[in-house]
Structure 1
Amino acid sequence: MQNFDLNTLVRKNIIALKPYSSARDEFKGEAEVYLDANENPYPSGYNRYPDPLQWKVKELLAQQKEVKAEQIFLGNGSDEAIDLLIRVFCEPNQDSVMITEPTYGMYRVCANINAVAIQNVLLTKDYQLDTEGILKAVTPNTKIIFLCSPNNPTGNLLSVDDISKVLNNFSGLVVVDEAYIDFAGDVSLIKELKKYPNLVILQTFSKAWGLAGLRLGMCFASEAIINLLNKVKYPYNVNIKTQELAAEALLNADSKDRAVAEILSERGQLVDTLNQIPFVIKVYPSDANFVLVAIENASVTYQKLMQQGIIVRDRSTVVLCESSLRITIGTPEENKKLINSLKQI
């Protein structure tokens, strides 16, 4: 966090922006009669606007993650947080973000949508950070470095020491996307937020929590950074049903933990079995709920699996992932069907 100054990173128009104030921003609490938001007064269960800042969910999350509720941003998937971070901190046609490919594709897409340049530093051959390459590539216009750990599509955790080196030697934001962190053990960098004011952590309800259909992402950072995201987000960006079901899930975290344990058990068995298939070249180590598999004629194998109703992800055209498939860990029955199909191929 070399010479880190948040105010110098934020776009000037965002600093000057007067955010929209919704009816539910101006009144908080319970009332007998609501005539302030032009809602339909007849109850349907969803005729009232949701809490624009999702305080109930945030308070439950704050207890689990051991942060303040004010350090949490909730959005329409973590993709919303990625987009907002670029919009808040990167001046179009002037600033840049850095990515470390192979990595999650939405960093590039959001940067392109916002007319923000992309600096790309490849991961090493063992899918770790090239810290020297990253720091050497930094320019005065580099505002954000996106790091995915466990990484998608490779599945491995990035070295904490390498991430710390980047944090300590970069004056912009370092965004660590931990979408798959629940499958990697107790290694989240959320506990480092107090140490690094330039650290931003992304997580999601889509993976371990099994709530991909709700579209709810989490962003953890300093209160100052979260306030900026809240300043530019849409007024009611997370609907009532999503808030209700997320809160219910948080109150029943044991269910998530059991699902994670089962997925990890299946991951181990699937890896062992894949390694016995003759045309599998390599199964890469995984800290996620998927495995990257180097396989002979990967694209052909992908097509043959698809013809049998089994859909995996062909990553053959991704840099450093040549001739590879990304396979999500399914149920025991789904994994068995996959293996049987591969053996037939």
Structure 2
Amino acid sequence: MFNLENILRKNIKELVPYSSARDEFKGEASVFLDANENAYGSPLSTNYNRYPDPLQYKVKKRLSEIKGVPPRNIFLGNGSDEAIDILFRAFCYPGKDNVITVPPTYGMYEVSANINDVEIRKINLLPDYQLNMEGIAEAIDENTKIIFICSPNNPTGNSINREDIETILANFNGLVVIDEAYINYSRQKTFIQELTEYSNLVVLQTLSKAWGLAGLRVGMAFASEEIIEVFNKVKPPYNMNEASQELALAALQNVDQVNNWIKETVTEREKLRADLGQMSSVLSIYPSDANFILVKTENPTEIYQFFVERGIIVRDRSKVALCEGCLRITIGTPQENTVLMEAFKNFEESKKK
């Protein structure tokens, strides 16, 4: 049975977190003389001389209304990468514990593991890009603290079978982290609604994709109140700046606009799939629940370079395990997708000469 205390590092249990001036006073006031700020303001038109809300309450309140979970179940960080790093630092003893990933997948799980000196056990996805359940079960031991699952997966684009994830959640005594960076484009529903059922569940999302705020670096983690308390204990005191909080809050008022972008992206994704299917050098186009598609071609490096020379940048994933021969193509605007397809047709014409 999952028990948070059993996997939390001893030094984190005993950690007394840094207490900032804004942690100690949470009310309203007109004269702030507690945080050694510059009382005169800043050179900018908007004053950023005051420290931001360390727990980003206004943003969490709005997210709570959108996501249907209480603010106490939400952590906000400097991108999802901050949440990933905190998971390693809070739950994994360096040089002792291990985590499981399922390549091909998002590369920051491995980078954070290496930074924190935590063993990473890679159980490759099956040829259909689904979980190797038997392999995962065999890899788990008493020092396995976290299993990372990206769904929809990056770079393959497909959603992971929900029943398989639920099986792992129900039987694994460590944390199961479901990275849902691309969930807005998916037919599969989010796992956020399962937080009350699985105490070992952590769901990662972001405002970088569908919400279009990649430049602000706003990542989200949804989990039990106990796990969120650990996040808040470990994070830097002011981990999200005031400008990002203000702009994120403003963006979160525009749900309808974002939903329209999502619909158009999905429409363009299916159109681009059909168009790419007409190209003779395209061998396979994999199913996608994300804002990109993985395309297997006869000569990915040559195509990639042809695009680069024309100012079109896609991602060459041909050297990634199980993605041999593949390019990852983000869904652009209708105009950008037209430019891409014109370049693709020009490439194929050049091969005929």
Which TM-score applies when normalising by structure 2? 0.96
> Displacement, 1:66?
1.0
2:3 maps to what in 1?
A: 5
Measure, in 1, the Cα distance between the counterparts of 2:62 and 2:27: 18
**Contact 1:131/1:165 (CA < 8 Å) preserved in 2?**
no
2:323 corresponds, among 279, 304, 321, to 321
AA aligned to 1:99 is T
Deviations 1:246-296 (A, max 9, x none): 111111111111111111111111000000011100110100000000011
Mapped to 1, the partners of 2:50 and 2:258 lie a distance apart of 30
2: CA distance between counterparts of 1:126 and 1:243? 40
1:22 to 20, 23, 35: 20
Tell me, in whole angstroms, the C-alpha distance in 2 between the residues paired with 1:185 and 1:209: 17
- For 1:237 and 1:13, the matched residues in 2 are separated by 21
Q: Which moved more, 1:49-58 or 1:300-309?
A: 300-309
Q: Secondary structure in 2 aligned to 1:47?
A: coil
Task: Name the structure 1 match of 2:310.
Answer: 308
Say which SS state the counterpart of residue 282 (structure 1) adopts. Answer: strand
Could you tell me which amino acid in structure 1 is paired with residue 51 of structure 2?
Answer: Y
| Matching of residue 213 in structure 1 with residue 211 in structure 2 | no
SS in 1 for 2:220: strand
2:38 maps to what in 1?
40
Distance (Å, rounded) in 2 between the aligned partners of 1:308 and 1:186: 36
Are 1:282 and 1:293, in contact at CA under 8 Å, matched by a contact in 2? Answer: yes
Question: In structure 1, what is the Cα distance between the partners aligned to 2:336 and 2:234?
Answer: 42
Aligned pairs, number: 343
Distance 1:298 1:104 in 2: 20
Could you list the runs of 5+ residues in structure 2 that have no partner in the other structure? 348-353
Name which of structure 1's ranges 16-25 and 35-44 shifts more when overlaid on structure 2: 35-44
Q: Following TM superposition, by how much is the alpha carbon of 1:64 offset from its aligned partner in structure 2, in angstroms? A: 1.1
Name the residue aligned to 2:275: 273
Instruction: Look up the equivalent residue of 1:188 and give its one-letter code.
Output: T
Match of 1:88 in 2: 90
Aligned to 2:131: 129
Deviation of residue 329 (structure 1)? 0.2
User: Which shifted more, 39-48 or 229-238?
Assistant: 39-48
Give deviations 1:140-165, integer Å, cap 9, x for gaps. Answer: 10000000000000000000000001
Cα distance, 1:341 vs. partner? Answer: 0.5
Paired position in structure 2 for 1:113: 115
What residue is the counterpart of 1:147 in the other structure?
149
- Secondary structure of the residue that 1:248 maps to in structure 2? helix
Q: How far apart in 1 are the matches of 2:191 and 2:23? A: 31
After superposition, the C-alpha distances for 1:43-86 in whole angstroms (9 at most, x for unaligned) are: 23100000000000001111111111000000000000000011
Work out whether residues 159 and 188 of structure 2, in 8 Å CA contact, stay in contact via their aligned partners in 1.
no
RMSD: 0.7
Match in the other structure for 1:333 = 335
Determine the C-alpha separation between the residues in 2 that align with 1:4 and 1:262.
41
Tell me the TM-score normalized by structure 1.
0.98
Indicate the residue corresponding to 1:77 in structure 2. Answer: 79
**C-alpha distance in structure 1 between counterparts of 2:159 and 2:191, whole Å:** 12
State the alpha-carbon separation in 1 of the partners of residues 188 and 172 from structure 2: 26
2:40 is paired with a residue of what secondary structure? coil
Query: Shift of residue 185 of structure 1?
Result: 3.6
Letter in 2 for 1:12: K
Q: For residue 335 of structure 1, what is the amino acid of its counterpart?
A: N
AA partner of residue 172 (structure 2): F
Unaligned runs of 5+ in 1: none
Indicate the SS of the match to 1:238. Answer: coil
Looking at structure 2, the residues matched to 186 and 161 of structure 1 have their Cα atoms a distance apart, in angstroms, of 12
The residue aligned with 1:256 is 258
Task: Provide the secondary structure at the position in 1 that maps to 2:278.
Answer: coil
Are 1:161 and 2:189 an aligned pair?
no
Partner of 1:138: 140
Structure 1 residue 63 corresponds to structure 2 residue 65: yes
What secondary structure does 1:118 align onto?
A: strand
Give structure 1 regions of 4+ aligned residues with deviation exceeding 2 angstroms. Answer: none
Partner of residue 55, structure 2: 53
CA distance in 2, matches of 1:260, 1:273: 20
Give the whole-Å Cα distance in 2 for the aligned partners of 1:166 and 1:26.
Answer: 40
Is the contact made by 2:146 and 2:175 (CA closer than 8 Å) also made in structure 1? yes
